[in-house]
Structures are given as C-alpha cells and as structure tokens.
Structure 1
Amino acid sequence: MEANSPEKIPFFRDPEKLSILYQFLSIVAVGLVSYYLVSNTLANLERQSISTGFGFFEREASFEIGESLIKYSAADSYGRALAVGFLNTLIVSFIGIILTVILGTILGIARLSSNWLVSRLSAIYIEVFQDIPILLQLFFWYAFFYEMLPSPRQALNPFSGLFLCNRGLVFGIPEWHPAFKFMAAALVLGIVIALVLKRWAKARQERTGQIFPILKVSALLIIGLPLVVWLMTGMPTRMNVPTLQGFNFKGGLSISPEFTALLLGLVLYTAAFVAEVVRAGIQSVSKGQTEAALSIGLKPTHVLNLVILPQALRVIIPPLTSQLLNLTKNSSLAVAIGYPDFVSVAGTTINQTGQAIEGVAMIMIVYLVFSLSTSAFMNWYNKRIALVER
C-alpha cells in the first residue's frame, strides 16, 4: 500500500454523499406529504359531493361590482368578475407604488434637511404614521369621506367642474376626440426620444465632462410634442362636465371614496417606512463624498443627484423592494372598507359557488404574480444602477 494514497472515507462520514442523501430524503418527504394532503382533500370533497375545477368561470356571476375599469354587469361570468377584481387591485397597487416612492423619497431627504422645522415635521410624520396600524388608517379615511364630507347636493365646489362630496371626487374630463390618438402617439415618441437623449447625454458627459440639460429637454419633448399635435388638430377643448341629476352626479369622471381611502391609507402608511429607507441609504454615503463634491463647486442639487443618490441606491433598493411588496399585499385590506379588489370579488365568488380551494388558490397565485413581478423589476433596476468596478 502506497504511503501517499488517500484514505477511503466511509459513506456515513462523507459530507458530499450525505448532502445528496438528505436532499433526496427531503424531496421524498415533501412528495409524500403533498400526496397525502391532495388525496385526502379530494376524498373529502368527493364524500361531500363538492365539485372541483374552474368550470364555474363560465357561469353567470349574478352580483354587481361597484367599480370596474372594464364593462361589467351581474349577467357577466365569474371569470369576468374576477378580471374586474384583478384590474382593481392592479391599478391601486400601481398608482400606490408610484406615489409612495415619490412621497417617501421627499420625506427621507427632508428628514436630513439642515432646516430644523422641515426636519422635525418630517420626523413627526414618520413617527405618527408608522405607529398607527394600516387598518385603522383605512377606517379613518373611509369615515372621513362618508362622515365629514357633505352630500352631493351640498358638494364642495372649489372651482368649476370639480366636486367633492361623500360620493367621492367628481371632475370634468375632455370629451373623446380623434386628436387624442395622435397626441398619445406623440407622447410615446417624446418619451422614446428623451430616453435616447439621456443615454447620449450620459456618454457625452463621461467623455467630455459637459453636462447636458436633459431634464429640461425631456420635459419639453414630453409636453411639447403632444401640445404641438393638439394645436395642429384644431385644439379640441370640449369637456364632459359632471352635473347634479337627482341624488348623484352624471358625467365626468368619479373617483369613489373607497378607492381614495384605500390609496391614501396605503401611500401615507408605506411612505413613512420608505422615508426611513431613503434616510438610511443617504446616511450610508460618507460625508467626505459630499464635502469633496461641494469643494469642486458642484451645486447642492447636483451633489444629491450625481454623487449621493447613485451610491445610496445600492443600499436603498433591497429594503425598498420589501416595502413595495408590503404595499401590494396590504391592498388586500380593501375588503374592510368595501373596495372591490381581487380578494373581495374572489370571496364573493367562493360564497356563491362553494369553490373555496380554487378561490383561495387564485388569490395566492395573483398576489404571487404581483410580488414576483415587483421583485423582478426592482432586481433588474438594481443591477442596472449597480456601480461597476474597473
């Protein structure tokens, strides 16, 4: 036997082989548990003569939904009703995320302001809204709209075409005109050109050091192009103005108290946590970076946009993603104030059809899709802004 030959390790002491064995046993255990749960559930459903499957999607829903982004009536199918709930959840989550990021960023920066009053007001906001449960905030805003605001006949009318009452916010909108299609195309074109200009301006600045006024030019393109199209198509200005008919308003666009209360509660609550994330991210950048930027003559706004935020975002993005996911999942509390989100519509569907397993499974899948989509976008953005070492 050679002296340098490796000693043979027994199977029960080999870490690599044991890890493979443990993984195999774990998979087998999960499979057996899953098989038991599924088979037991199917047996119980069969014993109680409860049908399974998603065939109920085609049956008539027979219930109304107060708010819908698409046409819907009680004569439509359960599938369309669930689509209405999905879109309602999507719109409140999408708008809520945008407003939360904007408000949270402003509050986080204000929290570090050298102005004592601005800093204290931001701190008070953060402490108050973090310490009040989100459900209580939803109840407060819901009660505010229904108890504190007047009826439609005594609606507040700050200016022509805008009414605020316990039925919600009602305001005039432009009547449809073919020019709006071309204005939308011009808006998209302006955004595309602005994005191309941004990449060119960044490459030019890295090459020559010259700063291009990308914000002003982008704003001019995004606003100016649709405005030019509007001028060229005859400047349509006819409005669909709401008018009081009976006990409610007709015409215009109405935003319900339920939607407004839900959006306000989600945004104001989550923005308090986002503000602390932004504050922590900014403070993670050493003061020497700020002092160095100021010493070479950069303006405070340029220091924030070009020096501090690009470095702070590496710290901000991961916890910010968690807060945005929390906002999306907290939107399921809409059922408490009567907003017809996906959970509310799915709950009504379960009560009428008895398809509890399918209903709960759909709720889980929908929120899983929302969460994974948000995480995927934030991870993509995180990689995009990551500082590349050279």
Structure 2
Amino acid sequence: MTNTKPPFWRDDRFWRIAGQLIAVVLALAIVAILWINLNRNLQQLGIQFGFGFLKQQASFDIGETPIAYQPTDSYSRALWVGLINSLRVAVLGIIFTTIIGVMAGIGRLSDNWLVRNIMLVYVEVFRNTPLLLQLLFWYFAVFLSFPKIDNQISLWGFLSFSQNGIATPWFNLSPEFAALLLGLTFYTGAFIAEIVRGGISSVPKGQWEAARSLGFNPSIIMRLIILPQALRVIIPPLTSQYLNLTKNSSLAIAIGYPDIYFVASTTFNQTGRSVEVMLILTLTYLTLSLTISLIMNLFNRRVQIRER
C-alpha cells in the first residue's frame, strides 16, 4: 500500500497561514482605500498632505515650559514641550497612584474598623464620580480658593499653598499641574486599591496562618510573603490602570494644563492640519501605551511562579 498525501486544502496548517495572509491583505486594502480617499479629499480642498508646517513659527505662548521655549519657536518645539509636560504627569501619576492604591488596598483589609471604612469611603467616592468632575473640583474648589501668594498657607516651614500652586524649597507646582496630578492620582488610586485588595484576597489563608505560626509580625507577612504572591494577580489589571491614567491625562485641557493634547489642539486651530495633528497625537499615545505595556509585561514575567 502506498501512503497518499492529502490535498493541501485539507491541511489545517495551510488554512491557518492562509487566514492570516488574507487578514493582512484585507487590512492593507482598507488602509489603501482610506489613504486614496484622504488624498482625494485634501486635493479637493486645496491642501497637500505633509508635515512641513512643523517647521513654521508657532506664535503662541505655553504656560509651563520644562525646556526653553519662545513663541518664535517652531510647532515641533511646542509639541515637544507638550509631550514633556504629559510625561511629567504620567510618570509622577503612576508613582503616586501606586503608593496610594497599595495603601488603600491594604487598608481595605485592615482589622481596624476606622481604617477599613475610611478606605471604603475613599474607594467608593472617587471610583464612582467622573474624572472630569474631580479635576474641576481640585482646580476651582481647592487650588483657586487658596489665598493669594502674599497670604499663602505654610506648613512645617517648607511647604506652602497659594493660588500660584504648591511651593517647596526644591520646586514649584502650578495649580493646573497640581490639580491634574492629584485628580489622576486619587481617581486611579481608587481602582488600584480594589485590584490590590483582590490580589491579596486571592492568596490562600494558609499562607497567613503558616507565617503567624512562625512568629512573623503582620507587616513582614504582608511585605515578604503575601504581596509577592499577590503580584501575579495584581500586575495585569494594574497595567490597564497605568494605561488609563496616561490616556486620561488628555483631560488636562479642561483646566488649562499645556500637555501634548492641549498644544496639538492649538496647533490644529492655527494651521488647520487636522489629519497630520491627529496622526501625531495617535502615534504619541500609542507609543506611550506600548512602552508602558512592554515594561509591565517584562515585570510580570519576573514575578510569575515558575513550576519545576
């Protein structure tokens, strides 16, 4: 008897590869159609697609400039200033919201009735009210209600609050930056608190009992035994919250903080280059999100339990 090879169209491997190729071809075809339509519409409007406008003079001021910038600089320079402002908020927000979220999540499981219920109120209030409303509250109801700088409120001799923001001997935070940072931090921290609480609750109670039987105090049990095991459950949803915080920073435009979205909107209004500006914004947020995802995925691999 001779073994006859079945036709290739009956091979599952062929259809898996063919399906992927068809999907790629369809995606490229859709992109090509959209690109052709875009060029046709721009030609009808007398506009030529391109990024040459980035070299033109911006002619607008920016409230916060972490790098040197003048209105006589180019649009590309202005967008760099906005990007750095966005990165400042994202990096500090991720750090502070992690601290607050972890503390609140552990507090939700505290044996102390007062601590547990304070954390519960915090989580429910901040998680169930719109972020935009919280940003407006921090900006208008908190920072703009502080006294003027001549009558600023001082705490411990080195921390002062006024309508100009928060000032210390080492830095000065504008009211727009401080309101955005606090709003994003407390809002996202409420979600992270529930993620941490769920991750800790997923650790078997036998781990607690075994650690207590060995004489460890609660802080050491939490830090060295429980949290390392809970990380494999915490990190995946935690990554989503970091991504949400980064993207939600675009709401800075509501309180006048000059992030990348704010600067890009001004650039669009002055140049009329809607397509190019939207592409820049899309690629910017996509790059930030992919970078955060890559870092968190690498960290997630390190904390996963490896079976022998």
- Give the shorter-chain TM-score range: over 0.9
Superposed, 1:66-77 pairs within 5 Å as 66-77=63-74
Asked whether the equivalents of residues 145 and 165 of structure 1 are also in contact (C-alpha less than 8 Å), the reply is no
* 1:42 alignment counterpart: 39
Residues 113-162 of structure 1 show CA distances to partners (whole Å, capped at 9, x for unaligned) of 11111111111111111100111100111112454222233332446565
Q: Distance in 1 between matches of 2:116 and 2:95?
A: 23
Partner of 1:386: 304
The amino acid of 2:80's aligned partner reads A
The gaps in structure 1 that reach 5 residues or longer are 174-252
1:16 is aligned to 13
Q: Report the CA distance between 1:27 and its aligned residue.
A: 2.2
Preserved CA contact (<8 Å) 1:85 1:340: yes
Cα distance change on mapping 1:20 and 1:143 into 2, 3 Å: same
Which residue of structure 2 lines up, in the alignment, with residue 321 of structure 1?
A: 239
- CA drift of 1:45 comes to 1.0
Between 15-24 and 370-379, the greater mean CA deviation after superposition = 15-24
Shift of 1:388: 2.7
1:294-320 superposed Cα distances (whole Å, 9 cap, x missing partner): 111222222112211111111111111
* CA distance in 2: counterparts of 1:301 and 1:25, whole angstroms: 56
1:301 alignment partner in structure 2? 219
2:284 aligned partner, one-letter code: V
Q: What does 1:91-106 correspond to in 2, within 5 Å?
A: 91-106=88-103
Q: Tell me: CA distance 1:306–1:16, structure 2 relative to 1, closer, same or farther (3 Å).
A: same
CA contact (8 A) 1:100 1:267 kept: yes
Distance apart, 1:37 and its partner CA: 0.7
| CA distance in structure 1 between the partners assigned to 2:74 and 2:176 by the alignment | 24
After superposition, where does 1:207-222 map in structure 2 within 5 Å? none
- Contact 1:88/1:342 (8 A) holds in 2: yes
Query: Partners in 1 of 2:236 and 2:126 — Cα distance?
Result: 22
Q: For 2:21 and 2:302, locate their aligned partners in 1 and report how far apart those are by CA, in whole Å.
A: 38
> How is 1:126-137 mapped onto 2 (pairs within 5 angstroms)?
126-137=123-134
Q: Report the AA paired with residue 201 of structure 2.
A: Q
**Would the alpha carbon gap of residues 16 and 119 (structure 1) be closer, same or farther in structure 2, given more than 3 Å must change?**
same
1:265 aligns with 2:262: no
- Tell me how far apart the structure 1 counterparts of residues 269 and 144 of structure 2 sit (CA, whole Å): 31
What's the CA shift for 1:5? 4.1
Q: What is the TM-score of this pair, normalised by structure 2?
A: 0.94
Q: Would you say the 8 A contact 1:126–1:275 is kept in 2?
A: yes
Taking the TM superposition and a 5 Å limit, the aligned residue runs for 1:1-390 are 2=1, 5=3, 8=6, 11=9, 13-145=10-142, 147-158=144-155, 160=157, 162-173=159-170, 253-390=171-308
SS at match of 2:153: coil
Aligned positions, number: 308
Q: Which has the greater radius of gyration?
A: 1
Report sequence identity in percent. 48
Cα distance between partner residues in 2 of 1:5 and 1:160 = 89
The whole-number CA distance in structure 2 between the counterparts of 1:367 and 1:255 is 24
Asked if 2 retains the 8 angstrom alpha-carbon contact of 1:289 and 1:308, the reply is yes
1:273–1:323 contact (8 Å) kept in structure 2: yes
**Structure 2 unaligned residues grouped into runs of 5+:** none
Question: Equivalent residue of 1:368, what SS?
Answer: helix
Check the 8 A contact 2:57/2:74 in 1, yes or no: yes
**Contact in 1 for aligned 2:158/2:169 (Cα 8 Å):** yes
